Structure 1
């Protein structure tokens, strides 16, 4: 079931945010994610967040700032089981255009977004990590 974020979800989704970022971005120093943890935790309640939950267990979430996808995060044991696609389909139903940035080396995520009809608009360097990232978008048309 997908539902809106509740304040008492914050610790669970932050744990998921940190864990999945570290695993998906092994090309970025772990210290980067840990040093941004508190800043991201403060910003989370300002975003639009949808949580995928089953049996009172958060299996994933998506964070949006208007039509910009800040990230889709799925608990490791539930990846490749449709949780990320379900979250993405949910926000596609509510938007006519979606934008995101994804690290080029995160090939699993790049493949996922390309399969889900996102197109690459630009390639740039993330000034915080000096890693190449792809700017991608999706249109409902």
Structure 2
């Protein structure tokens, strides 16, 4: 899916050396990697489509050890569709799926310089719980760790 590499490049291109950016994109957004993510039974990939074109994408991963924890690995919205509610619609789909799978918490990481994404997640109810290092090639970047508690399902 081209959207992954395109949106990663659009979001991080000004803060990341080009060689590191391209190395990361090749390693993480190849067709083989995308197919593995789609085929993973402990994960879910959600697409927002318009005229046979992917305009939004979300990737949810359940913790295979602690089935009550889920991780929002990615949520990307094509630049021209930002600010129109598509990211929130994708996030609601992710939250519903995580809840249906029995998760009681959803975690994500977000680049500390991505103010727009941080504000979006805070509006959605996520809180900062820490920070971590995210490697883009050889470039080590600081990410915030954010978490949202999900309601427990009855009889869980």
What is residue 29 of structure 1 aligned with on the other side? 17
Partner SS, residue 101 of structure 1: strand
Residue in structure 2 matching 1:105, options 99, 109, 113: 113
Matched, 1:90 2:90: no
Q: Is the 8 A contact 1:97 1:140 kept in 2?
A: yes
Is the partner of 1:35 in helix, strand or coil? helix
**Is 1:134 the equivalent of 2:137?**
no
For 1:36 and 1:87, locate their aligned partners in 2 and report how far apart those are by CA, in whole Å: 24
Q: Pick from 104, 109, 114 the counterpart of residue 122 of structure 2.
A: 114
Unaligned 5+ residue runs, structure 2?
38-43, 63-69, 99-103, 152-156
How many positions carry a matched residue from both structures? 128
After TM superposition, which residue ranges in structure 1, 4 or more long, deviate above 3 angstroms?
none
Report the equivalent of 2:40.
none
TM-score for both structures, normalised by structure 1: 0.82
Paired with 2:24 and 2:52, the residues of 1 have a C-alpha distance of 28
How much has 1:108 moved relative to structure 2? Answer: 0.9
For the pair shown, which has the larger CA radius of gyration, 1 or 2? 2
Please give the alpha-carbon distance, in whole angstroms, between the structure 2 residues aligned to 1:91 and 1:28.
28
Q: Which residue does 1:46 correspond to in 2?
A: 36
- Quote the RMSD (CA, aligned, Å): 1.6
Matched residues in 1 for 2:79 and 2:106: separation?
Answer: 24
| TM-score, with length taken from structure 2 | 0.74
Deviation at 1:127, TM superposition (A): 4.5
Give SS of 2:73's match.
strand
